[in-house]
Structure 1
Amino acid sequence: MTIRTRLTLLFTLLVATLLLVFCLSIYYFSSLHRKNEFYNRLKAEAYASVELLFGKETISPELFKLLDRNQITVLYAEEIIIYNYLNEIIYESGTDYLAVDNEILNQVRLEKEVYFKQGQREIAGIFYTDKYNRYVVFTSAIDKYGYSKQANLALILSVGWLVMVLVVFYAGRIFSFNALQPITRVIRQVAKITASNLNLRVEEGKNEDEIKQLANTFNEMLNRLEEAFRAQRSFISHASHELRTPLTAISGQIEVALLADQSVAEYKAVLTSLHEDTQDIIRLSNGLLSLAGLSTDTLLTRYTSLRLDELLWQARSELLGSHPDYTIRIRLPEMPEDDAALFINGNALLLKAVFINLMENGCKFSPKKQVKVELAFEPQAFRITFTDEGIGIVAEDLPHIFEPFFRAANVGTIPGHGIGLSLARRIIDLHQGSITIHSVLKQGTTIAIILPRHF
């Protein structure tokens, strides 16, 4: 069922229910009015009858019956019965429509006025007294014309309700069509957007309503998708280029080695060079796999409680194991009294990879091959700084330093692929932290990491 049909049916059901309650209320109050009006007529007939028959100025019962049968205002199937204090009938109109027992007579004497029904016949009983007599008068009749009006009113209300429901249904169709027209327009525009034309955007319109919010949200999503596609194409392009270079070198060395006979030492040199190129490809592949894996946030569920200072010492130990010529100094200016303040919630492998990368960069780009690491404790976070006295970074390159495969213009022949810092930033983002870099050309670089204690 479409939204348009659902809205139409809900709108019709709501209005139909309200109209039905309105019509039933009119019928109910009209029925009460008819009942009260007819009771007043019956009561008036009762008082008039007893006054004419037993009041100060009386007429004979025969004359009263004659007048009662021929008056214009006589009620349909009317019957009048008058009882004295001994429960004896002293007047009856003679139609024998009504049967009254002693219980009802006593009820009338107690309550003075009683109104009740026998089938379609409605009866009014009154207790009439004067100086000498006490009478119980019953007047009964069938409200033929009142019920006819009620039936006619019921028919009018039923037909009117049905007609109005049909009108509301078609009006609801038109209303829902106009209300959903902007969404239909958005759907048509979205259907035209494919992977090859992500530059298209949905028209937001001029009204400040939910449709504009929907279009604006979808356009923002398209911006993110377009950026993701652009980054993907850039990633594939850079990855292909970075892989092509060592593979071309390996292929060239193998071809040269096959052209002529060489000594064992020469073959060893070729194999050594091939091994270095192969290791370079492995490091690049690992970096690419890590970068691709982090983009899916699959490691978020592996967070545990870690002691940050121990993680820094572990990273230092592993890096010195492969580069014993590096110098890494770790400093903790203020150790907290409580060891619990050293713990952080995070992923040990990811954070250690960041620390190793930043330590290695500090040593690799520094002539003295050394880096200083400082761990500071802030009220709600840890601050870790990596400082070197290396070649620094050109100011124009700083805004791009965290982009995948980007390398500063002054790195020269220093090995690397431009993946490490982009990986570091992604990992720190996953830990809801921040990473900033400050560098002065030929003086050194300082990278600062802020990690929240809990998130």
Structure 2
Amino acid sequence: MTIRTKMTVLFLSIVTVLLLVFCVTIYFLSDVYRQSEFETRLKREALTAATIVFNKEEVSPDLLKILTRNQMTALSKENIVILNAQDKVIYQSGLKNNLYTPSKLEEIKRNEELFWEEGEVEKFGITIKNRARDYLVIVSAVDKYGLSKQHNLAILLSFGSILLIALSAILGRFFTGGLLKPMQQMIKEIDAINASYLSLRLSQRGNKDELGQLAQRFNEMLDRLQIAFHKQRAFVSHASHELRTPLTAITGQIQVSLLANDNMEELRTMAKSVLEDVNQLNILTNNLLELNSIDVDDIRIKASLLNVVDLLLQAKSEVSQKYPESKIILQIDDHEDYLPEIYANESLIFSAFINLIENAVKFASDQTAQVKLLTLQDGIQIKFQNKIYTLVNLNMDVIFDPFIRGANSKNVKGHGVGLSLTKRITDIHKGNLAVNLEESDFVEFILKLPKGSPL
């Protein structure tokens, strides 16, 4: 069942229930009013008949009956009976049928007035005093005119309800179609969006309703998907290029070695070159695997309490072994009240420290890197500085994207993966990684990590 049909059925159900409640209420209120009005008429007839009977010295009983039958206010099938205190009939007009039972007489005496129904016949009894004597007057009749009005009212309400329900169904179908028309257009536009047409967007038309908000959110999601899709394409393209370069070099060197003479020195030199390319290829592969395994939105890391100073010293030692000619200066600003400790994943944080220190060493003009640790109340801050020859023009929007390398990296070995990996590690730990280029001869990466909590 479509939403349009569901909305129409729901709207129709609500209208039907409301109409049913309205019609039943009107009908029963009208019937209550009719009964009340007819009860008043019966009471008036009873009092009129009693007045005539109790003053009958000048009116004979036969003449009284004739007057009663022919009075202009006579009711349909009207019967009147008057009884004395001994329940003996002293006057009766109309049909000679039994208007009462002994129990009803007792009830009239007890309540002084009583109205009741027997089928379509409605009856009224009243106790009247005349010359210190009690009398009972009972009047019965059929409210032919009132019942006819009730019947006509029922027909009118029934046909009116059917007509209104049918009209509501037509109007409900029409208006729900108009309300859902933007959604149908939205479905057509969504069907046109695929991997080849990710730039297409839903029409918002300036609406501020729920459908307009849905279109806005969907377009924002498409923006994120398009960016992710382009990054994925760029990642695959750059990764293919970076992998092809060492593989081509290895292939060429092996081919040359096959054509070379049996000069062991040349073969040894060539083997070292191949080994270096293989090591670079291995590093690149490991970085790609690590980069691919880290997803900021989904990863669940195992955190433990880490001493940042120990990790920095280990990272410094490892980078120093890799770059023996480098100089790494570690400055620790101890705080009396705060310890340089955080809750984080040890292997990931250690990898981030390695990447940032190695990056500072590789691009330093004097192969010197300065690492400054500052302990804060809510975490730590580490600055990684290196001196450069000239100011580097860096695009801050893409500096942390994979395989992005600056103009000063032509003669520096690397693949442009380290900073991207470090940025993802920082984001996982709810930290921040920024670049400061305010000083013309220094590049400074500022890493901030919160205290965190054990996971």
TM-score in terms of structure 2 length: 0.91
Higher alpha-carbon deviation: 99-108 or 261-270: 99-108
Aligned to 1:363, which of 354, 361, 364?
361
Instruction: Indicate the SS of the match to 1:332.
Output: strand
Identity of aligned residues (%): 39
Q: 1:214 to 1:57 in 2, by over 3 A?
A: farther
Work out the CA distance in 2 between the residues paired with 1:407 and 1:255: 31
CA-based RMSD of the aligned residues comes to 2.5
Structure 1 counterpart of 2:61: 61
Higher alpha-carbon deviation: 105-114 or 12-21: 105-114
Once the two structures are TM-superposed, the CA of residue 316 in structure 1 deviates from its matched residue by 3.6
Work out the CA distance in 1 between the residues paired with 2:227 and 2:57: 108
Structure 1 counterpart of 2:289: 289
Check conservation: 1:52, 1:58, Cα contact below 8 A. Answer: no
Amino acid at match of 2:143: D
Work out the CA distance in 2 between the residues paired with 1:36 and 1:57: 34
Matched, 1:249 2:249: yes
1:205-354 alignment, distance < 5 Å:
205-295=205-295, 297-299=297-299, 301-309=300-308, 310-320=310-320, 322-323=322-323, 326-335=326-335, 337=337, 342-344=341-343, 346-354=344-352
Structure 2 counterpart of 1:29: 29
Instruction: Indicate the SS of the match to 2:203.
Output: coil
Work out the CA distance in 2 between the residues paired with 1:94 and 1:62: 12
Instruction: Indicate the SS of the match to 1:400.
Output: coil
Once the two structures are TM-superposed, the CA of residue 126 in structure 1 deviates from its matched residue by 1.2
Amino acid at match of 1:305: S
Amino acid at match of 1:350: L
Higher alpha-carbon deviation: 231-240 or 386-395: 386-395
Deviation string, structure 1 residues 152-186 (Cα, Å, up to 9, x no partner):
21122111111111110011111011111111112
Once the two structures are TM-superposed, the CA of residue 435 in structure 1 deviates from its matched residue by 0.9
Structure 2 counterpart of 1:6: 6
Once the two structures are TM-superposed, the CA of residue 393 in structure 1 deviates from its matched residue by 5.5
Structure 1 counterpart of 2:167: 167
Amino acid at match of 1:306: L
Matched, 1:192 2:195: no
Work out the CA distance in 1 between the residues paired with 2:156 and 2:190: 50
Check conservation: 2:296, 2:427, Cα contact below 8 A. Answer: no
Once the two structures are TM-superposed, the CA of residue 76 in structure 1 deviates from its matched residue by 2.5
Structure 2 counterpart of 1:177: 177
Once the two structures are TM-superposed, the CA of residue 32 in structure 1 deviates from its matched residue by 0.8
Amino acid at match of 2:408: N
Work out the CA distance in 2 between the residues paired with 1:371 and 1:237: 32
Structure 2 counterpart of 1:107: 107
Matched, 1:19 2:14: no
Matched, 1:420 2:418: yes
Work out the CA distance in 1 between the residues paired with 2:58 and 2:33: 33
Work out the CA distance in 1 between the residues paired with 2:336 and 2:130: 108
Q: 1:58 to 1:101 in 2, by over 3 A?
A: farther
TM-score in terms of structure 1 length: 0.91
Check conservation: 1:116, 1:124, Cα contact below 8 A. Answer: yes
Check conservation: 2:306, 2:346, Cα contact below 8 A. Answer: no
Unaligned runs of at least 5 residues, structure 2: none
Once the two structures are TM-superposed, the CA of residue 352 in structure 1 deviates from its matched residue by 1.8
Deviation string, structure 1 residues 24-64 (Cα, Å, up to 9, x no partner):
11111111111111111111111111111014876333222
Check conservation: 2:54, 2:130, Cα contact below 8 A. Answer: no
Higher alpha-carbon deviation: 233-242 or 56-65: 56-65
Q: 1:283 to 1:67 in 2, by over 3 A?
A: same
Amino acid at match of 1:343: I
Unaligned runs of at least 5 residues, structure 1: none
Q: 1:82 to 1:419 in 2, by over 3 A?
A: same
How many residues in Structure 1 have an aligned counterpart in Structure 2?
A: 452
Q: 1:58 to 1:197 in 2, by over 3 A?
A: farther
Amino acid at match of 1:24: V
Work out the CA distance in 2 between the residues paired with 1:271 and 1:96: 136
Q: 1:379 to 1:441 in 2, by over 3 A?
A: closer
Extract structure 1 runs of 4+ deviating beyond 6 A.
none
Higher alpha-carbon deviation: 42-51 or 197-206: 197-206
Matched, 1:150 2:150: yes
Work out the CA distance in 2 between the residues paired with 1:432 and 1:338: 20
